[in-house]
Chains A and B, each alone.
Chain A
Amino acid sequence: MVSVTRLMAVLVLGAVALAGCATPTGPSGDDGVEPAAEEPEPRSDDAAGAQEPDKPKGQPAVRELVAEAEAASRAGEQPRAAQLLERAVRVAPRDPGVWQNLAVVRYRQQRYGEAETLAQRSNRLAEEDRELRRRNWALIAAARDQQGDAAGAREAQRRRKAVTKQDSAL
């Protein structure tokens, strides 16, 4: 178990380097979802003029805050990193990368329960970003491991691999 934890920690450490700009591009595929009906059904279109919600466009403001947070986190200033990421959340609440970074900081603060929930929140927003989802599941696995939830950690690992498989199937 120790080695798994260490592996996870490595993965997690890598995760904070991620820039806060996941770019969802289209509607989610049918990953892991039972097909809704036999005939392929188009998603109903939203009215053409409808504004899409804040699709993170790699906001420069967010990039700046995330970069600052990353530096702070690396310097061991986790509260400051968290504060900067909370600011980034306010600027781009739909950006799954920001939520993930906050999850990583909470992990580093050894607040594993919060880290797990934040990673789940990130997953909720990261439908199209498999790489991000993989990292979130890795983080969730590590967080559960740290909380002594071995079964939960294994389940998270399974989910992580499932995301990877979808990827290689593409």
Chain B
Amino acid sequence: MARSKPRHRKANLKSRRARRSWRLWLVLSALAVLAIALVGGGVYVYWLDRWVTREFEGKRWSVPARVYARPLELYPDKRLTPANLERELGAAGYREVSTVDDPGEYSRNGQRFHVHTRAFPFSDGREPGRPLALRFDGDRIAALRHAATGDALTLVRVDPATIGRIQPNHNEDRHLVRLDEDVPRSLLEALLAVEDQSFAGHIGIDVWGIARAAWANLRAGEIVQGGSTLTQQLVKNLYLNPRQTLGRKANEAIMAVLLEAHYDKAAILQAYLNEVYLGQDGERAIHGFGLASRFYFGKPLAELDIRQQALLVGLVKAPSRYDPREHPQRARERRATVLKVMVEQDYLGVDQARAARSQPLGVTAEPGDQTLPHPGFMDLVRRHLQRDYERASLARDGLRVFTTLAPHVQQAAEQALTRRLSRWHKAMEGAVVSVDGDNGEVEAVVGGRNVRYAGFNRALDARRPIGSLIKPAIYLTALARPGQYGLGTPIADQPITLQNAQGERWQPANYDGEYLGKIPLWRGLADSRNAATVHLGLDLGLRAVVDTLDGLGARVPASIYPSILLGSVDQSPLDVARLYEGLAAGGFRTPLRAVRTVTTSDGEVLSRYELDLARAADPKAVYLVNHALQRVVRQGTAQGLDEWIAEDVRVAGKTGTTNDRRDSWFAGFTGDRLGVVWVGRDDNGRTGLTGSTGAMTVWGAMFSQLALQPRSAEPPEGVAPVWIDGATGKRTAQRCRGAVQLPYIAGSAPQGRADCSAPTNDDGWFKGWFQ
């Protein structure tokens, strides 16, 4: 034992030494761990901090450009149908009610409307919101008054429909709201009362709140209070996945404090309002109060009443559990809770709360989806803007884009195309472009039969042979030489064979396989005679025809063959609209525009795309061509249009059919509007349709929905009507057989006179100028 003692002591000593070194080691390593933890934690927090600010800046500034339709202008005598006024109001988010009280509402009683417009800050001045009383007389506004004062109003602009947003890459739709403009005060009060009472004072986390919540939960035996601040909820929505773990909770708390350190309460609150998850629409998550308001109530956030605001605030806690469409009873109870808290916090009177509690939920039956997407038109807007704006800036800077889209015209185009196409083979596709004939503003674009689908935009990108749609350019070339050609000049409708440089033969044939010999020039266009047109075009020279096309602003091919005379040149419907715009505007060309102005979010104008005019062709010659194009509709290939459109509208138009009926075209214009329709197949297969059985019917169905401005019959200075003998092209008198009245450019009427054969009555209808 004695031996063992020292040994023991030794051992003791050794172990003491060992223990000491172990302790030292422990202390040292603890210190090291602490240092590492501190450094690591610091690095981690620093990293978190960078992440938090970067993401938040990105989100905060990422306000996509908002795109508006053109505002509807109301004034006495305006041409508009009552049904189209309703379409316009619907597009701008107006609701039909029985009694109009608030902005954004309207009522209709037959030809009479009450509309309460919303105020809107246009770039050229603020338009006040006003209660209007309108009376229609047929397709015109007969009276326009202030509904309260009874004063006659001369001109009112309705706030424009929002037609979309230019998003970054993702397809998320958001109605961003601004704290100071769009959010009712009572909604903020309700939100703070229910979700975060100490928001104004806390630093991102609320220690007291957590303790309070824990106590409440303990007492209740379940989770009744969250204890998360709005900032924490925002962090959760912005940065984290929804898994509930302790680590995630800690992260959330740190990030919330960091966020508060960097940004003020208003910025955080605004981000929250736009970020918070409030429901689900199939695949699409409903984020933000702005979108939720549209989704549940079909109107903007600013227009919600207390009960609706309370319901939205109630949804924050558990959107699917309280979904007012799925679980209305639960939603009512949740709303009552919110109202009760508001009363407790003195934000709401007891009576008001009681009144709100007794009202129905006020949710629309179907998800009120604010804007109908018009992807075809938006595509054109995007391309237009890309000339002057960077993509990133459009998706981020909150710009406002004021476009030229006319919602009721767009709807008419969409409906006409889808309805007509549904009667034909399912592979049939189509496209429509509609343009204001006076100023070149694009009113409607439909890119395919699935009008809501942003796929291949046929209106802009389907380049197809245009067939006979090219013919007016050839006849315009001729009629611009009044010494040589007039509408009555006889031209040869005879077989013709051409040979190209490779020795290939080409025999352009008439559609009916017949040849009429000599026909008056106007008939070549009205009846779309291929042989006569080729003869005429070759006499004029291909170069001259191409120059005319160029003058009208058409896309001209690099190499020219005689087959261009029958339209073997590929153009998109938009190209064709450009070509015909020059005719519709009487020889003046205006660049087609889809955007009027772009402003900052504060209304400062960044770009204005102004009305611009250039001479496209001689107005006198254009008048003569348009006269022939009117005869196309009166007595030529487009006669069938009278099924849709009254004769006195004096539509001028042209049908086009390509080889084997692969493409069916119609371009036509009234006094103020040009429409171009293409029908065909993406695989370029046969359609079995001609221009008049296909595209023209779409055009007719569309324009029959619109209030039409007749084309002017007034000839320009230096054009006068002359009676011409149809057979010889010489002058004759009205009473003579075969006499046709045609406009001639002064000094160019033929000199010789035809023999006047016995007057007849049988073709009297055919003679007059515009009967």
| A residues adjacent to B (C-beta < 8 A) | 24, 27-28, 30-37, 39, 41, 43-44, 46-47, 49-54, 57, 59-61, 63-65, 79-80, 82-84, 86-87, 89-91, 93-94, 102, 114, 117-118, 120-121, 123-124, 127
Interface residue SS majority, chain B? loop
A79 and B124 CA atoms in complex are apart in Å by 10
Contact B73 A46 (CB under 8 A): no
| B residues adjacent to A (C-beta < 8 A) | 73, 75-79, 124, 154-155, 436, 438-439, 586-588, 608, 610-615, 619, 647-648, 650, 671-672, 709-723, 731, 733-734, 741, 744, 746-747, 749, 768-771
Contact B716 A93 (CB under 8 A): no
Knowing A34-B746, A60-B154, A127-B714, say if A44 contacts B719 (CB, 8 Å): no
A8 and B460 CA atoms in complex are apart in Å by 45
Q: List 22 A-B contacts (CB under 8 A).
A: A28-B714, A32-B717, A36-B744, A39-B733, A43-B769, A46-B648, A53-B709, A54-B79, A54-B671, A59-B75, A61-B76, A80-B124, A84-B124, A86-B610, A86-B611, A89-B438, A90-B436, A93-B672, A102-B611, A117-B588, A124-B716, A124-B717
Q: Contacts of B613 on A, CB cut-off 8 Å? A: 114, 117-118, 121
A127 and B588 CA atoms in complex are apart in Å by 17
Q: Which residue of B155, B716, B723, B747 is within 8 Å of A37 (Cβ)?
A: B723
Interface residue SS majority, chain A? loop
Knowing A53-B710, A59-B75, A89-B611, say if A31 contacts B768 (CB, 8 Å): no
Q: Contacts of A93 on B, CB cut-off 8 Å? A: 438-439, 672
User: Beyond A33-B746, A61-B76: 16 further Cβ-contacts under 8 Å?
Assistant: A28-B714, A33-B720, A34-B749, A36-B744, A37-B733, A39-B733, A53-B671, A54-B709, A60-B75, A63-B154, A86-B611, A90-B436, A90-B438, A121-B588, A127-B716, A127-B717
A116 and B587 CA atoms in complex are apart in Å by 14
Knowing A43-B769, A64-B154, A86-B611, say if A91 contacts B718 (CB, 8 Å): no
Contact B438 A61 (CB under 8 A): no
A118 and B589 CA atoms in complex are apart in Å by 11
Q: Contacts of B720 on A, CB cut-off 8 Å? A: 30, 33-36
A127 and B744 CA atoms in complex are apart in Å by 17
A118 and B585 CA atoms in complex are apart in Å by 12
Q: State the 8 A-B residue pairs at the shortest beta-carbon distance, nearest first.
A: A50-B648, A93-B438, A61-B75, A61-B155, A44-B769, A60-B154, A33-B746, A44-B768
Q: Contacts of B711 on A, CB cut-off 8 Å? A: 53
Q: Contacts of B436 on A, CB cut-off 8 Å? A: 90
Knowing A28-B715, A33-B719, A36-B720, say if A82 contacts B610 (CB, 8 Å): yes
Contact B717 A34 (CB under 8 A): no
Contact A44 B718 (CB under 8 A): no
Contact B709 A36 (CB under 8 A): no
A62 and B722 CA atoms in complex are apart in Å by 37
Contact A90 B73 (CB under 8 A): yes
A54 and B608 CA atoms in complex are apart in Å by 28
How many residue pairs between the two chains, A and B, have CB atoms under 8 Å in the bound complex? 130
The minimal Cβ–Cβ distance linking B582 to chain A, given in whole angstroms, is 13
The minimal Cβ–Cβ distance linking A166 to chain B, given in whole angstroms, is 11
Closest to B154 in A: A60
Contact B611 A34 (CB under 8 A): no
Knowing A28-B715, A36-B721, A60-B154, say if A51 contacts B648 (CB, 8 Å): yes
Contact B717 A31 (CB under 8 A): yes
Q: Which residue of B439, B586, B715, B721 is within 8 Å of A90 (Cβ)?
A: B439
Closest to B588 in A: A121
Knowing A53-B709, A59-B75, A65-B155, say if A47 contacts B648 (CB, 8 Å): yes
A92 and B714 CA atoms in complex are apart in Å by 17
Q: Contacts of B75 on A, CB cut-off 8 Å? A: 59-61, 91
Q: Contacts of A37 on B, CB cut-off 8 Å? A: 722-723, 731, 733, 749
Q: Contacts of A65 on B, CB cut-off 8 Å? A: 155
The minimal Cβ–Cβ distance linking B131 to chain A, given in whole angstroms, is 19
A32 and B717 CA atoms in complex are apart in Å by 8
Q: Contacts of B611 on A, CB cut-off 8 Å? A: 86, 89, 102
Q: Contacts of A39 on B, CB cut-off 8 Å? A: 733
Contact A60 B438 (CB under 8 A): no
Closest to B586 in A: A124
Q: Contacts of A46 on B, CB cut-off 8 Å? A: 648, 713, 770
Q: Contacts of A34 on B, CB cut-off 8 Å? A: 720, 746-747, 749
The minimal Cβ–Cβ distance linking A73 to chain B, given in whole angstroms, is 14
A82 and B609 CA atoms in complex are apart in Å by 11
A123 and B620 CA atoms in complex are apart in Å by 12
A41 and B713 CA atoms in complex are apart in Å by 17
Which residue, A28, A31, A51, A86, has most C-beta atoms of chain B within 10 A? Answer: A51
A91 and B80 CA atoms in complex are apart in Å by 12
A83 and B615 CA atoms in complex are apart in Å by 22
The minimal Cβ–Cβ distance linking B236 to chain A, given in whole angstroms, is 47
Contact B723 A47 (CB under 8 A): no
Q: Contacts of B769 on A, CB cut-off 8 Å? A: 43-44
Q: Which residue of A35, A49, A120, A121 is within 8 Å of B648 (Cβ)?
A: A49
Q: Contacts of A49 on B, CB cut-off 8 Å? A: 648
Closest to B585 in A: A121
Q: Contacts of B714 on A, CB cut-off 8 Å? A: 24, 27-28, 127
Q: Contacts of B610 on A, CB cut-off 8 Å? A: 82, 86
Q: Contacts of A90 on B, CB cut-off 8 Å? A: 73, 436, 438-439
Contact B647 A47 (CB under 8 A): yes
The minimal Cβ–Cβ distance linking A120 to chain B, given in whole angstroms, is 7
Closest to A27 in B: B714
Q: Which residue of A33, A52, A63, A127 is within 8 Å of B710 (Cβ)?
A: A52
Q: Contacts of A89 on B, CB cut-off 8 Å? A: 438-439, 611
Knowing A33-B719, A36-B721, say if A86 contacts B439 (CB, 8 Å): yes
A50 and B712 CA atoms in complex are apart in Å by 11
Q: Contacts of B749 on A, CB cut-off 8 Å? A: 34, 36-37
The minimal Cβ–Cβ distance linking B635 to chain A, given in whole angstroms, is 15
Contact A57 B77 (CB under 8 A): yes
The minimal Cβ–Cβ distance linking A88 to chain B, given in whole angstroms, is 10
The minimal Cβ–Cβ distance linking A136 to chain B, given in whole angstroms, is 11
A41 and B615 CA atoms in complex are apart in Å by 32
Q: Contacts of A52 on B, CB cut-off 8 Å? A: 710
Closest to B711 in A: A53
Q: Contacts of B721 on A, CB cut-off 8 Å? A: 36, 41, 43-44
Contact B712 A53 (CB under 8 A): yes
A80 and B613 CA atoms in complex are apart in Å by 18
A132 and B709 CA atoms in complex are apart in Å by 24
Closest to A82 in B: B610
Q: Contacts of B647 on A, CB cut-off 8 Å? A: 47
A86 and B439 CA atoms in complex are apart in Å by 9
A35 and B719 CA atoms in complex are apart in Å by 10
Q: Contacts of B717 on A, CB cut-off 8 Å? A: 28, 31-33, 123-124, 127
Contact A50 B710 (CB under 8 A): yes
Q: Which residue of B614, B719, B733, B747 is within 8 Å of A117 (Cβ)?
A: B614
Which residue, B155, B647, B712, B716, has most C-beta atoms of chain A within 10 A? Answer: B155
Q: Contacts of A83 on B, CB cut-off 8 Å? A: 124, 608
A145 and B438 CA atoms in complex are apart in Å by 28
Contact B155 A91 (CB under 8 A): yes
Closest to B438 in A: A93
Contact B747 A41 (CB under 8 A): no
Q: Which residue of B77, B439, B615, B734 is within 8 Å of A59 (Cβ)?
A: B77
